[in-house]
């Protein structure tokens, strides 16, 4: 009986959790990817250590090139700025989420483009002096 009660409570909590995590407003347009890096990478003005980060297209209807990059817990902003929309190259898998540029062996590689999963277009970051 105790196992059955625990199972019912777990199912109810899962359903409530899904309901609370689903956007309820029709005007919610943010597009988000959680991306995990196994080594440091660079964005304009920031170096991201290995770990998971949130890449978000913050307002595709009003400012389609505005991108923000947050810590996994959404508490720290590493990048917030405008990018340039570019088309995904022919033959590139739609599952690829970033394209990296070259860097010195002792430096973090810069993220050149963030590709939303499954999308035909990506967001290219602009670096000073490039």
User: pLDDT tens-digit profile of 28-46?
Assistant: 445 899 999 999 999 999 9
Q: What is this structure's pTM?
A: 0.72
**Nearest residue to 38 via CA among 112, 115, 109, 124:** 109
Query: Quick one: which of 64, 111, 56 has its CA closest to 84?
Result: 64
The answer to whether residues 60 and 28 touch, using CB atoms and an 8 Å cutoff, is no
Contact 63, 82 (CB under 8 A): yes
Range of lowest pLDDT (75-79, 96-100, 116-120, 126-130): 126-130
pLDDT tens across 59-73, in order?
766 777 899 999 999
Distance (Å, whole) CA 87 – CA 94: 12
Would you place residue 117 in the very low, low, confident or very high pLDDT band (cuts 50, 70, 90)?
confident
Which stretch, 12-16, 30-34, 88-92, has highest mean pLDDT?
Answer: 88-92
What is the SS3 assignment for 119? coil
Other residues' Cβ atoms within 10 Å of the Cβ of residue 83 = 19
What is the Cα–Cα distance from 69 to 33, expressed in whole angstroms?
Answer: 10
């Amino acid at each position: 009986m105790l196992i059955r009660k625990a199972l019912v409570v777990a199912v109810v909590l899962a359903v409530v959790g899904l309901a609370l995590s689903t956007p309820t407003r029709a005007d919610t347009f943010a597009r988000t990817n959680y991306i995990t890096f196994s080594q440091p990478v660079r964005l304009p003005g920031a170096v991201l250590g290995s770990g998971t980060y949130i890449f978000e297209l913050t307002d595709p209807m009003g400012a389609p090139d505005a991108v923000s990059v947050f810590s996994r817990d959404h508490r720290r902003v590493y990048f917030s700025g405008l990018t340039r929309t570019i088309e995904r190259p022919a033959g590139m898998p739609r599952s690829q989420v970033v394209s990296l540029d070259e860097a010195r062996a002792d430096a973090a590689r810069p993220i050149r483009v963030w590709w939303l999963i499954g999308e035909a277009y990506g967001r290219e970051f602009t670096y000073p002096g490039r």
